[in-house]
Amino acid sequence: MAIHKLFEDDFEEDNYMLIAIHCSAEDYRLAYLLNSNLNLKLARKQEDLDYNYMEASFSIYEWNDDENFVTWNLVANTSRQEVEQVASAGSLFSNQQGKRTVSKFLIPERKKVDFFVKISSENQVKSPKIILSKINAVAEVITAYILDANQLKSKNNLIFE
C-alpha cells in the first residue's frame, strides 16, 4: 500500500480580512454609504446566500476590483423570517395562532454583529486601519472592528462561491 504524505504547503489558505459592523441601517443603505465613503461599487448579487434549504437567506453585496485584484463582500449576519406559530390542542392559549418572526445568524457566535465586510485579496490587504477608520466615519455605523476569522467556529459560512 502506498503512503501519501500531506504537506502544509498543499493546502491553500484563503487570504482575506473580515470586518464586523454594528449598524442599525438597512443593508442597501449601508452598501450605499460604504460605496460613497470608500469609493466602492458594491452591488447586490442576484441571489442571496441560502443556508439549510432556504431556512435562512442573507443579503449579499459584491464588487470585484479588477485593478487591485480585490473582492469586496458586504453580507448581513441576520435573516428574519415569519413562520406559522402552532399551538398544541390542549393548551390554555390554543386560539392564539398566527405568525412569529424567527432570526437566524450567518455567524451564530457573533449574534450582535449586523454586517460583515469580507475583503479577499491575493496579497495582503492594503491599509486596513484606513479602511476601518473610513467605515467608522459613516454616521449610521455604531462601531466596526477587525475579526480573526480563524477563531470563528462557523467560518465556513464565509465561503461565498
**Ramachandran quadrant class, 77 (left: phi over 0; alpha: psi -120 to 50; beta: rest):** alpha
Q: Are 33 and 140 in contact (CB under 8 A)?
A: yes
pLDDT of residue 122: 82
DSSP reduced 3-state for 72: strand
Domain range annotation of the chain: 15-158
The total of other beta-carbon atoms located within 10 Å of residue 133's CB is 11
CA 99 to chain centre: 26
Paired residues of 84 in beta bridges: 99
Query: What DSSP character marks residue 100?
Result: E
The contacts of residue 144 (CB under 8 Å, 6+ apart) are: 19, 20, 21, 22, 117, 132, 135, 136
- Beta strand 43-44 with 49-51 is unpaired
Q: List C-alpha distances in Å: 58 to 12, 81, 106, 150.
A: 27, 11, 7, 21
| pLDDT tens readout for residues 71-121 | 999 999 998 877 776 666 566 665 666 777 778 899 999 999 999 999 998
Q: What is the mean pLDDT of residues 147-159?
A: 88
For residue range 82-94, what is the model confidence (pLDDT) as tens digits?
Answer: 777 666 656 666 5
pLDDT at 74: 96
Fold of 15-158: TATA-Binding Protein (3.30.310)
Query: What span, in angstroms and rounded, lies between the C-alpha atoms of 45 and 71?
Result: 13
Q: Which range among 3-7, 97-101, 124-128 shows the weakest confidence by mean pLDDT? A: 3-7
Give residue-wise pLDDT tens across range 7-54: 655 555 668 899 999 999 999 999 999 999 999 999 999 988 887 656
